Chains A and B, each alone.
Chain A
Amino acid sequence: MDSVTKIVRWIDYRLPIFSFMDHALREYPTPRNLNYWWNFGSLAGITLVLMILSGIFLAMHYDPNTHEAFNSVEYIMRNVNFGWFMRYMHANGATMFFIVVYIHMFRGLYYGSYKSPREVLWILGVIILLLMMATAFMGYVLPWGQMSYWGATVITNLFSVFPFGEGIVEWLWGGFSVDAPTLNRFFVLHYLLPFLIIGVVILHLVALHQHGSNNPLGIERKEPRDSIPFHPYYTVKDLFGLGVFSLVWAYFIFFNPDFFGEPDNYIPANPLVTPPHIVPEWYFLPFYAILRSIPNKLFGVIAMFSAVMILFFVPWLDRSKVRSAAFRPIYKWVFWGFVVDCFILGFVGAHSPDDVYANLGGLSNQFLGQVTTLIYFAFFLLALPLLGLYEKTRPLPTSLSTPVLQNMNKTPAMILFLLFSVGQLTSLNASDTPPLPHQEWSFLGPTGTFDRTDLQHGFQIYKQVCATCHGLEHVRFRDLAALGYNAEEIKAIAAEHRVEALNDTGDIIERPCLPTDKFPNPYKNEQAGRAANNGAMPPDLSLMVKARAGGANYIDALLTGYEATPPKDIELAEGMYYNLYFPGNQIAMPPPLTEGLVTYDDGSKPSINQMAHDVVTFLAWTAEPELEARKRLGYKVLIYFIVFTGLMYFLMKRIWARVE
């Protein structure tokens, strides 16, 4: 016995931590027939850990203060080492977490994993879901963009339907609107709740290990050969699953980081303007659709809360003695119908209630939402109890090791059917702007990089044209190194600008900017900006390309979409200009680009289209200065996980050969 073993034994005799781990992660007897749907439990646990890890490191730089929250997030993105990686990992991690947990729950519903003796296991899972929802909601408030602010306002206002509702809402806010106290407490709670989740996850695992995992056949294990030790069979299978999952997560982090985000959240919170289309994050959309489909505030809120709370009662609503849907010919289809229903509810939630579906005979989104809400509740309140009484189930096999059925696996077909049904929905929403023309951009696509000439030309246009009215407050002069300027050139560019500073006697003086300074704002403050521009504040351009739906194409279309004479039926307000692509078609900004406005270094005079193209490329860079580094790192990470997943696959096949 070597000394390490001795020490382990000594500790274990006093604190049985090693035998506990040995039991829980190594010898733990597991059904031999678990399929890949059982991977999502461990994935959820790993995601939770990774979310807490990235969250803790983000919290080291984040500032929960209404003046600085938005800026501190941009500071993380631009200045903190690997800050963009941590933030995109965390933001997309929320999406990954909900995908994994929803699949995990659907799996439980399909295989009847909540049935006796696993009712408490299921209830603990629903508690985890509730905590996750609260955590995700408060986390989304922290960047303090427009969606954060208005999401917080709308969700907290849900509580106003309860008795003493006004008081409850003001108590939640710590004021008379969502403001500094709200942000600060949401930050604290967003940090706290994940640790409560860990606590409930531990209880979830204790409850799981009491009776062991359910399995695809839904029958209890009877003989020793029905079980195999968790390690190495399921550790290697879970690691293989982790590899595949990491590939998906890494794709979004490195190549499509804002896919699940809303452009409006790159606009700083403004308590006086609600964005035209406010939608929650996708994982709340089905519940949001249920809320909206009922045209009564109180009953809408009750329905929405019930939609989650009803999950607590599933173990008793389902009267069937048979667990697995594999032996329930009707429930199997009812289940997939329910999944499709949830997808349609999500789709309904993402669109305006006024939208109509041409291919569904002019069905309104509102009506579709009401039907799918009804189906949602009918699944729990009618299908689950009645099927238990009237469904004729198929005979169960006698043991896991001698399964009687060799039926075709219909799952892939079901998933295709599901995606097809949802894909059939196309909504028509009335829009006052034509579709955006698509441009070629050097920075798009998985290998795209910024064209350095376009960048420098675009910067010249910003400097000579845009900068008179629009700031660039998140960009520092030294950042221009990415455009290909050297230190001396940057010093000279910075020195062309002036910034206010205090001198030794306390007077405000102007000094030339240094490379470390940010681009100074063209106006001293917002009031000055509004006064100089007919009441409309020219927005900061740092994040403009990320902050508008349509991105680069939209900004380009806007810059070139002016028409000198508006259509006859349009009455232009005073000081407004007609623009084809601006929402409402009336814009306060005069046409910024004219022929021959600037001359490039090579002596050429660019066309309006060329100028627009160059300045949009520059603004795409100011919005995502990390883009090139992000994609470069992304390739390394993808290659790593492809190798990792491949190796795990072979290892898994080799290890599992013994069982099969």
Chain B
Amino acid sequence: MTNQSIDYSPPPQKEPTRRDFLLLTTGALGAAGAACFAWPFIDSMNPAADVLAQSSIDVDLSPIPAGQAITVVWRGKPIFVRHRTPEEIKAAEQAPLNELIDPETDQARVQKGHDQWLIVVGICTHLGCIPTGNKPTQNRGKYGGWACPCHGSLYDTSGRVRRGPAPLNLAIPPYAFVKPTLIRIGTKEVAHG
């Protein structure tokens, strides 16, 4: 009889441990499920398949005379395509690196053999305004590149920031020369999202 009564009452230590394990497993499973469930909704706010697929545009360079620039739209952003004069190239190459806010050589910002073509994303790296200077009639600032009208950042003829508050040089989009007078901006192929 005594033995039986001991069998009936579960040991006080063992029982909670087993349920704790079940609770932990269930809790972990629930948390993982909730995280997986959240993902489709978060991902739905990312660029849709057709937006991703609009990844490349072709730009014909032949109509742009030296000293002038055009603006094309790639992924909803303005891209400055500038045909630089020899003086502008020289000024860009000779700028002392130690005076630069974001040191980078001019060679690193153009493609080899295509020194006259500077292609940059036309968005100020400070807070996203579009700098002036892409048209010859606009203010290009004292470094001859672009000048941001919002907070006065100045860029040189290599698109490098020379006066703040912008912290970085104008970004270079991915592009390649298809022909000497034709570039393709955005080379990533997305066949199907």
Contacts and interface: CB of A to CB of B under 8 A. Distances in A.
Interface string A41-82: 000000000000110010011000000000000010011111
Given A61-B44, A75-B50, A478-B192, 15 more contacts: A54-B41, A57-B44, A78-B49, A79-B48, A81-B44, A82-B40, A82-B43, A86-B41, A490-B191, A515-B53, A644-B29, A644-B33, A647-B29, A650-B22, A651-B22
Interface of B: 19, 22-23, 25-26, 29-30, 33, 36, 39-41, 43-46, 48-51, 53-54, 189-193
Interface in A454-485: 476, 478-479, 481-482
Nearest to B32: A640
A487 interface: yes
11 contacts: A54-B41, A60-B45, A75-B48, A78-B49, A81-B49, A82-B44, A515-B53, A640-B29, A644-B29, A644-B30, A651-B26
A85 B36 CA distance: 13
Interface residues of A, number: 34
B190 A53 contact: no
Contacts of A61: 44, 48
Q: Is the interface of B mostly helix, strand, loop or mixed?
A: helix
Interface string A638-654: 00100110011011001
Contact of A60 (B19, B23, B44): B44
A647 B191 contact: no
Nearest to A481: B192
Contact of A648 (B26, B48, B54, B193): B26
A83 interface: yes
A86 B40 contact: yes
A75 B191 CA distance: 17
A78 B50 CA distance: 9
Given A478-B192, A490-B191, A516-B50, A53 B41 contact: yes
Contacts of B53: 476, 478, 515-516
A580 B45 CA distance: 47
Interface of A: 53-54, 57, 60-61, 75, 78-83, 85-86, 239, 476, 478-479, 481-482, 486-487, 490, 515-516, 640, 643-644, 647-648, 650-651, 654-655
Contacts of A53: 41
The 7 closest A-B pairs by CB, nearest first: A82-B40, A481-B192, A79-B48, A81-B43, A481-B191, A79-B49, A79-B50
Nearest to A486: B191
Nearest to B50: A79
Given A478-B191, A647-B22, A654-B22, A81 B30 contact: no
Given A57-B41, A647-B25, A482 B48 contact: no
B18 to A, nearest CB: 8
A647 B27 CA distance: 10
A163 B193 CA distance: 55
Contacts of B45: 57, 60
A85 B191 contact: no
Contacts of A515: 53, 191
B164 to A, nearest CB: 36
B121 to A, nearest CB: 21
A659 to B, nearest CB: 15
Contact of A80 (B48, B190, B191): B48
Contacts of A81: 40, 43-44, 46, 48-49, 193
A81 B45 CA distance: 8
A478 B22 CA distance: 48
A475 to B, nearest CB: 11
Given A487-B189, A648-B26, A654 B44 contact: no
